[in-house]
């Protein structure tokens, strides 16, 4: 089974800066999703991008998908201290019933 | 509109005891997924169920673990004869169906085996 790899593992930035996280995967997918997890809590769905889409926006979030490189990026603009959390990418493989999660990027936004 | 509910939120069991974790999906959702998360790691798929059917249990350990989603009531993840290595956060997610649907996650049950 494939497991997404996220890069970097940890990221620390000042409030107001942009944060970029990358995700790579191995097989063909139906879609790729990004989730956020605050420490000790459940996951919150942020955004879903289908395999035939290249870019998607939602508020301060921008997601790109390059299926030829099997990679995706999540950009959070004008970061806030409240954005501090772990961010996971998850892929829905073609023919699979479940999501495969990456190892996560731990983002710290310093006020 | 209640979200996915899981209980208990925290569960402590001694080695050899049984653990029962419950998940009530969002209203209108008939698909339930269970994931396990070890400290500092991502979520690992365990099992996917629809009402009264196990669709995919490829991520479930072959022994001691079982799951069900009865016609009435919550989905149950059952771990028999727990061992220390079972200590983890167990998350349940639900979706309305297959095909490009995001999964809605519950708050998780944190199992500690002493």
Query: Per the CB < 8 Å rule, is B103 touching A45?
Result: yes
Kindly give the pairing relationship between strand A19-24 and strand A5-7. Answer: antiparallel
Contacts of B33 in chain A (CB under 8 A): 98-99
Residues near B4 by Cβ (< 8 Å), separated by ≥ 6?
A42, B23, B24, B25, B26, B92, B93, B94, B104, B105, B106
Look at the alpha carbons of A101, A104, A107, B2 in this order and tell me if their dihedral is positive or negative: positive
Q: What is the pLDDT along chain A (111 residues), one digit of tens a residue?
A: 456 788 899 999 999 999 999 999 998 998 999 999 998 788 999 999 999 999 999 999 999 999 999 999 999 999 999 999 999 999 988 877 788 898 899 999 999
> Residue B100 above 70 pLDDT?
no
Contacts of B110 in chain A (CB under 8 A): 40
pLDDT band for position B98 (cuts 50, 70, 90)? low
């Amino acid at each position: 089974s494939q497991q997404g790899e996220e890069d970097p593992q940890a990221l620390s930035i000042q409030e107001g800066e942009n944060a970029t996280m990358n995700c790579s995967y191995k097989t063909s997918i139906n879609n790729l999703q990004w989730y956020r997890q605050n420490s000790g809590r459940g996951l919150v769905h942020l955004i879903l991008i289908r395999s035939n889409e290249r870019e998607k926006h939602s508020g301060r979030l921008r997601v790109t998908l390059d299926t030829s490189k099997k990679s995706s990026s999540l950009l959070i603009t004008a970061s806030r201290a409240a954005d501090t959390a772990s961010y996971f990418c998850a892929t829905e493989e073609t023919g699979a019933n479940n999501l495969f999660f990456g190892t996560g990027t731990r983002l710290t936004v310093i006020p | 509109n209640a979200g996915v509910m899981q209980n208990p939120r925290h569960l402590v069991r001694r080695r050899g005891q049984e653990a029962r974790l419950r998940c009530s999906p969002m209203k209108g959702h008939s698909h339930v997924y269970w994931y396990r998360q070890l400290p500092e790691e991502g979520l690992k798929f365990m099992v996917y169920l629809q009402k009264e059917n196990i669709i995919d249990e490829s991520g479930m350990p072959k022994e001691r673990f079982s799951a069900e989603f009865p016609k009435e009531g919550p989905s149950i993840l059952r771990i028999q004869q727990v061992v220390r290595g079972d200590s983890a956060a167990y998350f349940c997610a639900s979706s309305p169906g297959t095909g490009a649907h995001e999964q809605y996650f519950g708050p998780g049950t944190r199992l500690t085996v002493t």
